[in-house]
Every structure is written in C-alpha cells, then in structure tokens.
Copies of this chain bind each other. A is one copy, B any other.
Amino acid sequence: MARYGPQFGPDITFLGVPRCDWADASTYPDADVVILGAPFDGGTSHRAGTRFGPQYIRQTCYLAHDGSRPSLALRVDGLGTDLRVYDAGDVEMFSGDAERSVRDLQAAVYAVARTGAIPLILGGDHTIAWPDAAGVAQHLGQGRVSMLHFDAHADTGDIEFGSLIGHGQPMRRLIESGALRGDRFLQIGLRGYWPGPQTLAWMAEQGMRSYEMTEIVARGLDECLTEAFAIATDDCDGVFLSVDIDVCDPGHAPGTGTPEPGGLTARQLLDAVRRIAYEVPVVGVDIVEVSPPYDSADITSLLANRVVLEALSGIARRRKDAAEGTTWDRRRPLLEGR
C-alpha cells in the first residue's frame, strides 16, 4: 500500500498547511485535523472526473496558499492559529480496483482517527463514505457515530453494475456492516427520482430520517437541522459529516457527476456546515463528488474548498468558545460602524 503526496499533479497540500504521513503519527503529534485525499472515481455510475477532486479542492483559492484563513464570520483562523491542521496527501486509490482502494482508505482513516485527530477526507466519488465513516467507527466503536449526510441522493443502493462497492451504495454498506446505526442516519437535501420503493422500504426499516427538499422548503432548513442535530447527538459519541456537493443546485455546483436540479444554494450549505461544526461534536468529515472537468470557472471546486474551511472554522470556534466560555452570535455585525 503506497503512502505519498497527491496521486495526481504536483506535490501540494491544502492551501499550504504542513504535510504529514498518516501512517506515522509522530509526524502529526498535535493535530486537530488531518486531511486525506481520496482521488477515486472508479465507483461512479455516470460522469467520472472526481479523481481530481483532491487536487482541485486543495488549491482552488485566490488567496495566498499560506496555511491561514481567518474567518470573517466566526473570527477564528481554523486553518492556522486556532486549529492544527495537517495534510497527509492522497491515499493511493487505483480507480480500476475499488475493493483494494476502499480497504486502503479505511486503514488510513482509522490510523488518523485513533490518534484523536479528526480525519477530513477530500473525494473522490461518494464510494469513499463507506471507508471514511467505517474508519472512524473502527476507532470510536460500531454504532457510536451518527451520520449527517448532505446529498441529492440517498446512496443506499444494494448492487450496481454487479458490485457491492460504488458511489450509490456506501450508506447501505455502513448500516449493513453495523458501523453506523440506521436510526442515527440523517439525510438532508434528497430529491429527484432515485431510489425506488424497494430501497426506500429498506431505508425505513433501518429507521433512517431523510429530509427531502420539499420538506426543507416547507419547514425551513434551519428547523430541519435543529431537529436532525437532536437525533444525531442522542446516545452517540460523535457525528460524521458527509457532504456530497450535489446537494447544492447545479447552478451553484455544476462540476459534479450526477447533478440534480432544485438543490440548496451555496449559502445554505455553507451555513449548515458551519452550524454543524459549531453545534455538534464532529469526529470526521468528507466532501465528495467534485468533478473538475464538468466545472465552470472552478466554482464547484471553490465551493468545496469553502465547505472545508467552514467546517474547520466552526470546529475552531466551538473549541474556542468551549475553552473561553463564550458564544458566537450570528446576528452580530462584522463592523458596527460608529
């Protein structure tokens, strides 16, 4: 199993944060978060291209790549001074061998998780959610991790193209394997025309809670999130956040493999990720399905980069507020004038 920098393109880290080797914990002794790239698109059922997700998410930003990003909204630097973030490069994932790739990724995620650092994985297609969340559960215990899953699709298929592994099936594998509990599985943003009744019945049996866009529009995203947080934090030791960029409307995120019209705005996604990172105990994150060849002016890669930064900023602010006994008020002006 290879360990190295990015599988594709030049040897870079996420916006210039320090490097580490996930297999050698001594290279990140004080890490709060360790970034892993998962450049895999062998599990995609339609458009490929997500193998370049890690490369693009790491570097799509117009600011200096200096390992620092002070958040205007949260007033913390979740990449620099207020959180220790490392980038372990990519796990080598040959897209032609899903089985080996998934196994190797889980090993890397687990290795990071057991050090106490939060693994943050840059996909790649959604196939990787299986090893991502399973790797964290391997450390925290089967059924001890809840899932907050942002997606247009349920990803609970059984067998596709003759395979148990693929980007339409990770959530089923996670529940079937016992890694995650079905009744601590919260899905947000579903819509469209998949899956059919049989799979929905299986999901219902597992006790899954899915917020389709119709409910989100009717009730408001904030109310739905508050409800979901209550379920997710009930009798569990941490929350895994899995963000499929196609939860956003194709207008906001065209660069993805299976876009479904009628999704969230980028603003809604960023606010939701921020709330999660700030309000619930996040133990793992992945951001998936960014497909650069279908993007327009790199806006989807950039959005994914900001999802990462919102997560980091939220975690940093949560820790800072916990340490200092303060609270963040989203209505407080950035600058109050005179």
B contact residues around A163 at 8 Å (CB): 94, 96-97
- Partner pick for A252 among B49, B73, B231, B251, CB 8 A cutoff: B251
Name the one of B48, B183, B261 contacting A270, with C-beta atoms under 8 angstroms: B261
Nearest CB in chain B to that of A102: its residue = B96
Any B CB within 8 A of the CB of A177? no
Distance between Cα atoms of A260 and B298 in the complex (Å): 11
A51 CB-CB contact with B under 8 Å: yes
Provide the residues of chain B in CB contact with A166, threshold 8 Å: 94, 96
Identify which of residues 42-78 in chain A touch chain B, using a CB-to-CB cut-off of 8 Å: 42-49, 51-52, 58-59, 62-63, 65, 68-73, 77
Q: How many copies does the complex hold?
A: 6
For A338, list chain B residues within 8 Å (CB). 182-183, 207, 209
A181 to B, closest residue via Cβ: B338
A19 CB to nearest chain B CB (Å):
11
Interface residue? A37 (CB, 8 A): no
- Let me know if B271 and A217 touch, CB within 8 A: yes
Residues in chain B near residue A59, CB distance under 8 A: 9-10
Binds B, one of A26-34, A136-144, A289-297: A289-297
Give chain B nearest CB distance to A122 CB in angstroms. Answer: 14
Q: Considering the complex, give the chain B residue whose CB is closest to the CB of A70.
A: B196
Whether the Cβ atoms of A334 and B211 lie closer than 8 Å is yes
Whether B249 lies near A265 (C-beta < 8 A) is yes
Interface residues on A, range: 35 or more
- Asked if B217 and A299 make an inter-chain contact with CB atoms under 8 angstroms apart, the answer reads no
A62: min CB distance to chain B, Å: 4
Give the distance in Å from the alpha carbon of A124 to the alpha carbon of B290 in the complex: 22
* Chain B residues, Cβ within 8 Å of A207: 337-338
Contact with B along A71-107 (1 / 0, CB 8 A): 1110001000000000000001011111111000000
A5 → chain B, closest Cβ, in Å?
A: 9
When distances are taken between beta carbons in the complex, the residues of chain B under 8 Å from A183 are 337-338
Q: A42-B42, A65-B11 are in contact. Are A193 and B72 (CB under 8 A)?
A: yes
Interface residue from B213, B250, B334 paired with A212 (Cβ < 8 Å):
B334
Given A92-B162, A254-B297: 16 more A-B contacts, CB < 8 Å: A2-B162, A42-B42, A42-B96, A70-B193, A70-B197, A96-B163, A183-B338, A203-B335, A207-B338, A214-B271, A249-B251, A250-B299, A251-B266, A262-B267, A262-B271, A294-B297
4 residue pairs, one from A and one from B, having the closest CB atoms: A209-B337, A96-B98, A207-B338, A42-B96
